[in-house]
């Protein structure tokens, strides 16, 4: 019998809305710690508090009953900003990230899905990782917008699904984050 680490068929994942007291909370906390540097990371308590006060969905990514990651999407009527997408390091590069994005498109077909990632910089210590990340998003339904966000002095490239970036709607979402977390600038370059 194959485990979820050895699957060769198309992944059939589920996105399940998470509550603060969810049974797999510790798994998601560990994934969060491993996936994001401290300068970019909110704790799960902060994520759930933010979600409770905004139109944000915190979604567990499950393969059958096994949590393999989570994503957080802040929404308005026109777009959804995926500001967290994290896959368990034990199953990265196994198709779960792409399957999760596909499921997001299915779950929110009326929204333009937007996300950002560290700008490509050949001099950065993690330049190869940044390039792989960008290539991954471009292969999985996103396109370049020519826009950037900022966090702690670093630039993050913005990509989106669908047509031209809905800048005004995205700026509204950046303002929501900034109102709750002033350290996250509401700047779109």
| pLDDT one-digit tens code per residue, 25-51 | 999 999 999 988 887 789 999 999 999
> Residues 113, 118, 122, 125: is their CA dihedral positive or negative?
negative
Residue 165 has pLDDT above 50, yes or no: yes
What pLDDT, in 10s, does the model give residues 98-151? 999 999 999 999 999 999 998 988 888 888 888 999 999 999 999 999 999 988
- Please state the pTM of the whole predicted model: 0.90
pLDDT of residue 8: 52
pLDDT at 179: 94
CB-based burial, 56-69: b 16+ in 10 Å, e otherwise: bbbbbbbbeeebbb
Q: Reduced to 3 states, what is the DSSP secondary structure of residue 22?
A: coil
Question: Which domain range does residue 132 map to?
Answer: 13-180
Asked if residue 91 belongs to a domain, the reply is yes
On whether residue 40 sits in a domain, the answer given is yes
Length of the chain in terms of residues written: 189
In a domain, 186, yes or no: no
Helix (H) and strand (E) counts in the chain: 5, 7
Q: How confident is the model at residue 7 (pLDDT cuts 50, 70, 90)?
A: very low
Residue 57: inside a domain, yes or no?
yes
Q: Say if residue 98 is exposed, middle or buried (CB neighbours under 10 Å; 0-12, 13-18, 19+).
A: middle
Domain-embedded: residue 1: no
**Domain count for the chain:** 1
At residue 3, the pLDDT reads 37
Residue 97 resides in a domain: yes
Is residue 3 in some structural domain? no
Q: How far is CA 66 from the centre of its chain?
A: 19
Give dist(CA 105, CA 113) in Å, integer. 7
Does residue 92 lie within any of the structural domains? yes
């Amino acid at each position: 019998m194959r485990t979820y680490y050895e699957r060769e068929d198309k992944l059939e994942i589920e996105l399940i809305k998470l509550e603060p007291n969810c049974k797999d909370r510790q798994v998601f906390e560990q994934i969060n710690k491993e996936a994001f540097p401290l300068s970019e990371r909110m704790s799960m308590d902060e994520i759930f508090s933010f979600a409770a006060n905004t139109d944000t969905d915190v979604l567990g990514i499950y393969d059958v009953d096994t949590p393999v990651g989570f994503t957080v999407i802040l929404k308005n009527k026109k777009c959804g900003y995926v500001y967290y997408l994290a896959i368990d390091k034990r199953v990265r590069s196994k198709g779960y990230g792409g399957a999760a994005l596909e499921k997001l498109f299915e779950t929110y077909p009326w929204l333009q899905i937007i996300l950002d990632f560290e700008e490509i910089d050949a001099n950065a210590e993690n330049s190869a990782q940044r390039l792989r990340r960008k290539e991954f998003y471009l292969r999985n339904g996103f396109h370049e917008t020519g826009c950037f966000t900022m966090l702690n002095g670093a630039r993050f490239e913005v990509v989106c699904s669908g047509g031209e970036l809905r800048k005004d709607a995205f700026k509204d979402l950046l303002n929501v984050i900034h109102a709750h977390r002033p350290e996250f600038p509401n700047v779109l370059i």
